[in-house]
C-alpha cells in the first residue's frame, strides 16, 4: 500500500483548481476536496503546493487533511465502495453487509485491494435513510441492499 503513495503525478492541474476559489485560507477545505476528487487522494506534493499557494504553514494544511473523513492520504481504488452506517442502515443490517463485502474483497474498511480495483469505506450517513441499507459504489447509490445481495455489488464487471 505505501509503495503506491509515492506515485508520480502531473500537478499542472493545480493552478486551475486554485483559481476556482477565493484566494484566502477559507478556501483550504474546498481546494483539498477538489484535489481529492482529481487525484482520488491527497498526494504529499499537492499538500505542499497548496500550503505555498495559500501561504499557510504546512502543518496547518496537514492538520486539516488528517482531521476530516473526506480526505485520504493514500490512493483509492478504481471503485470506492462506501457502506452507509447511519442509524437506519444499522438497524437494517449494515454491519452484516459490511462483513459480506469485506470478506468478499479480502480487505477491511479503510483499505484498498492489492490490484487497486476496490477500496472499502464506511460513511456516517448519506441521507438516503428511507432506502436503508445503502451502499454507494463510486457515485452510484444502491438502496434496500440485501445481505445476500451485497457481494454482487462488488463483482468485477
Partner 1 sequence: MTEATTTTAATRKITSVKDLEKLRREHKAENDKYPKQVMVCCGTGCLANGAAQLVEAFHKALDEREIKDFEVKAIKETGCHGFCEQGPLVVIEPKGIFYTKVKPRDIPEIIEKSIESDEVIEKHLYVDPRDGKKIECYGEVSFFKHQERIALRNLGKIAAHSIGDYIAVGGYQAIAKALTKLTPDEVIEEVDQANLRGRGGGGFPAGRKWRTCRDVEADEHFVICNGDEGDPGAFMDRSIMEGDPHAVLEGMMIAAYAVGARRGFIYVREEYPLAVLHLQKAIDDCHEYGLLGENILGTDFSFDIRIARGAGAFVCGESSALMKSVAGLVGEPREKYIRSVIKGLWGKPTVLNNVETYVNVPVVINKGAKWFTSIGCENNSGTKAFSLVGKVRNTGLIEVAMGTTLREIIYDIGRGILNDRPFKAVQTGGPSGGCLPESMLDLPVDFDSLTKAGSMMGSGGMIVMDDRTCMVDVARYFLQFLVSESCGKCVPCREGLYQLHQMTIAVCEGRAEESDLEKIEELSDVVVKASLCGLGKSGPNPVLSTLRYFRDEWEAHIREKRCPAGVCRELITYTVNEKCTGCVACITACAYNAITGEKKQPHFIHQDRCTKCGACVAVCRYDAIDVA
Partner 2 sequence: MINISINGRLVQAEEGEFLLTVMKRNGFKAPALCHHEAVEPYGGCRLCMVEISKPQWKGWKDLVVSCLYPVSADLEVQTDSEAVIQERKTVLHLLLARNPHTKEIKDLAAEYGIVRSKYQEVAEPDDCILCAICTRICDAMGFSAISLVNRGHGREVAPPLNEPPPDCTGCLACALNCPTNYIKYTDNGMTREIWGKTFEMLRDPQTGMPTITRVFAEYLTKHREIPEEYFGLGDESHRKRTARNFGKIAAWTREETVREEA
Residues that bind partner 1 (CB under 8 A): 24-30, 32-33, 60, 63-64, 67-71, 85-93, 96, 99-100, 103-104, 123-132, 134, 139-144, 146-148
57 is in the binding site of which of partner 1, partner 2, none (Cβ under 5 to 8 A by kind)? partner 2
> From the list partner 2, partner 1, none, which binds 59 (C-beta under 5 to 8 Å, kind-based)?
partner 2
Spell out where 24-156 has E strands. 79-84, 118-123, 135-137, 140-142
Nearer to partner 2, 47 or 97 (CB): 47
What's the rounded Cα separation, in Å, for the pair 64 and 17? Answer: 18
Q: Which does 137 bind (CB under 5 to 8 A by kind): partner 2, partner 1, none?
A: none
**Cell numbers placing 67:** 482531521
Minimum Å gap between C-beta 150 and partner 2 is 28
* CA–CA separation, 55 and 110 (whole Å): 31
Strand order in the sheet with 79-84: 118-123, 79-84, 135-137, 140-142
Q: Which is nearer to partner 1, 3 or 30 (CB)?
A: 30
Binding interface with partner 2 (CB under 8 A): 44, 47, 57-63, 66-68
User: Shortest gap between Cβ of 133 and partner 1 (angstroms)?
Assistant: 11
Q: What is the largest CA-CA distance in the chain?
A: 51
| Alpha-carbon separation of residue 112 from 2, 44, 86, 102, 118 (angstroms) | 11, 19, 22, 11, 6
Residue 135 C-beta: closest distance to partner 2, Å? 25
Amino acid at each position: 500500500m505505501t509503495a503506491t503513495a509515492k506515485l508520480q503525478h502531473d500537478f499542472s492541474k493545480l493552478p486551475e483548481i486554485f483559481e476556482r476559489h477565493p484566494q484566502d485560507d477559507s478556501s483550504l477545505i474546498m481546494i483539498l476536496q477538489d484535489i481529492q476528487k482529481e487525484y482520488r487522494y491527497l498526494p504529499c506534493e499537492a499538500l505542499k503546493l497548496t500550503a505555498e499557494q495559500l501561504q499557510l504553514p504546512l502543518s496547518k494544511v496537514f492538520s486539516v487533511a488528517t482531521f476530516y473523513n473526506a480526505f485520504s492520504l493514500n490512493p483509492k481504488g478504481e471503485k470506492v465502495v462506501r457502506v452507509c452506517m447511519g442509524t437506519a442502515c444499522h438497524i437494517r443490517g449494515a454491519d452484516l453487509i459490511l462483513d459480506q463485502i469485506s470478506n468478499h474483497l479480502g480487505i477491511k474498511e479503510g483499505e484498498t485491494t492489492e490490484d487497486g480495483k476496490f477500496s472499502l469505506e464506511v460513511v456516517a450517513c448519506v441521507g438516503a435513510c428511507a432506502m436503508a441499507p445503502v451502499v454507494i459504489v463510486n457515485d452510484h447509490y444502491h438502496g434496500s441492499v440485501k445481505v445476500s445481495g451485497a457481494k454482487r455489488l462488488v463483482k468485477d464487471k
